[in-house]
Amino acid sequence: MIDFERTLGRLLIGLTYVATALLVVGVLLMLASGISPLSGGPQLDPAALPIDLVTLTPAGFLWLGLLAVIATPIGRVIAAAVGFARTGEHGMVGVAVGILVVIAVAIGTAVAGS
Amino acid sequence: MADWILIIAGGAAAGVFGSLLGLGGGVLIVPLLTLGFGLELREAVGVSLVSVIMTSSAAAGVYLERHVADLRLGMRLELFTAIGALVGGTIAFLLDERFLSLLFAALLVYVALSMGRSSISETETAGSDGRPYAVRNLPLGIVGATWAGVASALLGIGGGIVKVPLMHLAMGIPLRVATATSNLMVGITAAAGAAIYLARGEIDPYVAGPTAIGVFVGASLGSRLAHRVDLRILRWLFVVVLLYTAVQMFLRATA
């Protein structure tokens, strides 16, 4: 049980550093391109992300970093669900699944309303 | 170039204050972006939520590694903060910006008063840390957690200012565990809200990137400075800053 929580902690820290690194690269590319932070950034276009990353476009790294930031706690809940399933804590697995369902509904509602 | 320096430095200042005083920094980021840079409130809330997730995730990771946070209690309450964030994130787009500014001004006054009071009661509550505890008043905790989620998604805050006193005073959780568990919960609460703002196109990557980095650096610095700073003086300074910001937000709402 102790190792399970430690693993979750390390996962959170690791993902945070990955997200930070992506944002730092995006900000450095913004600086190099002379883009002002108040100039109004582009909307998220998932289809354009790979091309933006290959062509070193600042918005690509910034969006990937921001998605990583938002995904970090969600990833922790998924990992916790797997951990609880292994230890036979079915009630906690249900709680974790419930959290993921609420987040999915939040995203679905927002996408439908936008 | 001045915009760059001000955004990163402002984010760093919010991170330092937030880290030293146990807040996510959202109460400072939103006024910074709206009053300082003229962003719309909803856009500032989206950026603030991302910054709050970043600082809370790193801290929560450390708390989990050290077994300070109560993972099971945190996840039970998270379910309800996420539902609250879903409600808050949805109604945020139906409310007038001026009304949201007024709500934010009221929140700042509440936080300032809580800060003023906690400087007096801090020594009384610190003694319970580390003792075995039993969770009590779970239904009340669920109601409070739901409200914290609504406030988080409406106003771009982590909600720790609601969750920590709730867990400590109403549910009998030791202060240190309550703070760590609240930090863990902030990630999911803010992620649910941020996902809504992201899907509605209210997060500007050019503002969010530098601000989040500033906040992250500031929070890291703050945790190293904690033992060198007189927190009583800092707390009262923070109360003054919050009250001044509340007046500015009120004037903006009524202008």
pLDDT of amino acid B119: 53
Mean pLDDT estimate for chain A: 91
B130 burial type by CB count under 10 A (0-12 exposed, 13-18 middle, 19+ buried): exposed
- Mutation target to probe the A interface, by most A beta carbons within 10 A, among B52, B53, B81, B217 is B53
Lowest mean pLDDT among A31-35, B165-169, B226-230: B226-230
Contact with chain A for residue B50, Cβ under 8 A: yes
pLDDT of amino acid A33: 92
CB B235 within 8 A of CB B129: no
Lowest mean pLDDT among A30-44, A56-70, B161-175, B193-207: B161-175
Lowest mean pLDDT among A72-76, B66-70, B202-206: B66-70
Q: Give the pLDDT mean for B203-224.
A: 89
Span B104-140, pLDDT tens digits: 888 888 878 877 776 544 443 443 344 478 888 899 9
Confidence grade of residue A2 (pLDDT, cut at 50, 70, 90):
low
pLDDT of amino acid A71: 94
Contact with chain A for residue B61, Cβ under 8 A: yes
Q: Give the pLDDT mean for B13-27.
A: 76
Q: Which residue of A has its CA nearest to B59?
A: A13
Contact with chain A for residue B142, Cβ under 8 A: no
pLDDT of amino acid B120: 45
Instruction: Locate A69 and state its tokens.
Output: 């930031």
Find, among A6, A15, A112, the residue nearest to A72 by Cα.
A15
Could you report the predicted ipTM of this complex, rounded to two decimals? 0.91
Lowest mean pLDDT among A22-36, B44-58, B120-134, B241-255: B120-134
Determine, for residues A66 and B63 on separate chains, whether the beta-carbon distance falls below 8 Å: no
Q: Name the residue facing A69 among B3, B50, B78 (closest C-beta).
A: B50
Contact with chain A for residue B5, Cβ under 8 A: no
pLDDT exceeding 90 applies to what percent of chain B? 18
pLDDT of amino acid B126: 40
pLDDT of amino acid B231: 67
Contact with chain A for residue B67, Cβ under 8 A: yes
Number of A–B residue contacts, CB under 8 Å: 187
- What does the radius of gyration of chain A's CA atoms come to, in whole angstroms? 18
Q: Give the pLDDT mean for B141-152.
A: 89
CB B195 within 8 A of CB A111: no
Could you write out the three-class secondary structure of chain A?
Answer: CHHHHHHHHHHHHHHHHHHHHHHHHHHHHHHHHCCCCCCCCCCCCHHHHHHHHHCCCHHHHHHHHHHHHHHHHHHHHHHHHHHHHHHCCHHHHHHHHHHHHHHHHHHHHHHHHC
pLDDT of amino acid A114: 67
Span B93-103, pLDDT tens digits: 888 878 888 88
